[in-house]
Amino acid sequence: MGDEGIMKQNAETGKISIDTTCEKKYRNSLPNFVQSVRLKYVKLGYHYLISHAMYLFLVPLLGISSVHLSTFRADDLALLWDQLKFNLVSVFVCSSLTVFLTTLYFMTRPRKVYLVDFSCYKPDSKYICSKELFMERSVDANIFTPENLAFQKKILERSGLGQKTYFPQAILNVPATPCMSEARSEAEMVMFGAIDELLAKTGVKAKDIGILVVNCSLFNPTPSLSAMVVNHYKLRGNILSYNLGGMGCSAGLISIDLAKQLLQVHPNSYALVVSMENITLNWYMGNNRSMLVSNCIFRMGGAAILLSNRPSDKRRAKYQLIHTVRTHKGADDRSYSCVFQEEDENRKVGVALSKDLMAVAGEALKTNITTLGPLVLPMSEQLLFFVTLVARKVLKMNIKPYIPDFKLAFEHFCIHAGGRAVLDEIEKNLELSQWHMEPSRMTLYRFGNTSSSSLWYELAYSEAKGRIRKGDRTWQIAFGSGFKCNSAVWKALRRIEPAKEKKNPWMDEIHEFPVEVPKITKIG
């Protein structure tokens, strides 16, 4: 509220009076503001104290030790040497054991996995599908009822998508021509476009790739998509090739985790991960509203990621993979069926989204961060979480569960752009700022829900904005059918200079972002 809401001017006398209602409001809000500021700094002081407790303890200890050593006489050193001469066998055994254990540790420790670079496919402008064009094609299909056309229009208006998302040619045609050959063309365009760009950026030869993982949930032709990549790039005959299907939007991080596991046992290797979804054969042509939502939010896109376990690649790599955490709630029937591909009453195939989706996603996220938290959170947050847990579970105190501040563990957040409601819920539950949510919201606005590849458009956004600095930690969170919630934690090995990111899909328009997305309203 501006000054015009506090001060009023009398039209006859010209005198200015203060609106007492607004005055009382500001008076009442001032103590709360001061209290919140105080609590903020108290928490920061607590976090600093706990995080540096070891140093605060060691400094006085080293001071006492130095004072004690300063009084150590030469006679005392001679006496100590005389004692050690009679224990040479013990010294030798201890030294040998130390060397052996140190060697064993370095030989058996997990290999470090580096992200050399990644590429996100940006389709040609002829594939742009505005909201108006989407509705035109929906009308042209002559399938949807007037009520469902109005429903789709409302979904679009509240989806958080912008006017420049992409659809495959088969859906843009009049009439639409979804068929196997068109679906293959879309897959080849997206996969090969992303891989070509990645190989050009890294300078890695196709023959040097030893591991290939491709994921696409709804399109699984024979030969597989991974075989299409092998054939197109003439990859070597002993390549370890994997094709993941039916695993939903979280399959991208499953592919990263699989590649990481393979890089642990195959030294001196490159792993190529390709994440995408196929729209051509999966545009729903019926009138079940739970299936129509997918038509409105899913769009064309894909990403290619090059991983390496070669120590020599650390100098040029962008990131190091620190953690991957996978959570699967498929044992629960409600979680299993909340995203389900099936036929409607007219035998039209579509993906139905249950009303329980948000609740299921929340439960999966809670389980995932319970596992991830101890790995990444500072001791100050873990201690607060533990004390609160003991108070609630053991002492039966009626207090709220403590939500750790993940902003103390990560500088950047890449949350799967599955939809506006999902982003709103995570922003609220993790208490993230608009700045932290910006990459996810802008990716949803500019490219739509590109399924498993959306996380990489988000990371590319942060790079294009010049936000990634050496040592920064990024948390990627993905949700998918099953139901699954997966996380990956990356650490930046160097500062990413936007001027050098010529192949970034955002670079030619990053100056236009962020944009203001209208507030969401309920659908009647």
- DSSP-derived secondary structure for 208-254: GEEEEEEE-SS---SS-HHHHHHHHHT--TT-EEEEE-S-GGGHHHH
Please list, in sequence order, all residues whose beta carbon lies within 8 angstroms of the beta carbon of residue 141, skipping any fewer than 6 positions away: 175, 176, 285
Domain ranges across the chain: 113-512
DSSP, residue by residue, 14-27: --EEE-HHHHHHHH
Of the listed ranges 77-81, 224-228, 230-234, the least confidently predicted one is 77-81
* Average pLDDT, integer, range 315-343: 96
**pTM score:** 0.83
Enzyme catalytic residues: 249, 328, 412, 416, 449
CATH T-level fold of 113-512: Peroxisomal Thiolase; Chain A, domain 1 (3.40.47)
pLDDT above 90 (res 71): no
**Is 70 exceeded by the pLDDT of residue 2?**
no
Peptide bond into 311 cis (omega under 30): no
What is the rounded average pLDDT for all residues in the chain? 86
How many Å is the maximal CA-CA distance in the chain? 106
Quote the pLDDT of residue 211.
98
480: enclosing H helix or E strand = strand 473-480
Q: Compute the distance between CA of residue 421 and CA of residue 42 in angstroms, rounded to an integer.
A: 33
In this prediction, residue 406 carries a pLDDT of 93
CB 275 within 8 A of CB 456: yes
- Looking at 120-224, list the stretches that DSSP marks H as alpha helix, in order from N- to C-terminal side: 131-140, 146-158, 169-172, 180-202
Closest CA to 482 of 296, 350, 327, 278: 327
Q: Which one is predicted more confidently, 12 or 271?
A: 271
CA atoms within a 13 Å half-sphere pointing along the CA-CB vector of 215: 26
Stronger pLDDT, 89 or 366, i.e. the higher one:
366
Confidence of residue 81 (pLDDT cuts 50, 70, 90): low
**Element (DSSP H or E) covering residue 31:** helix 20-51
* Mean pLDDT of all residues in 79-105: 70
* pLDDT at position 42: 55
Q: Hey, is 471 helix, strand or coil?
A: coil
Start-to-end Cα distance in the chain:
30
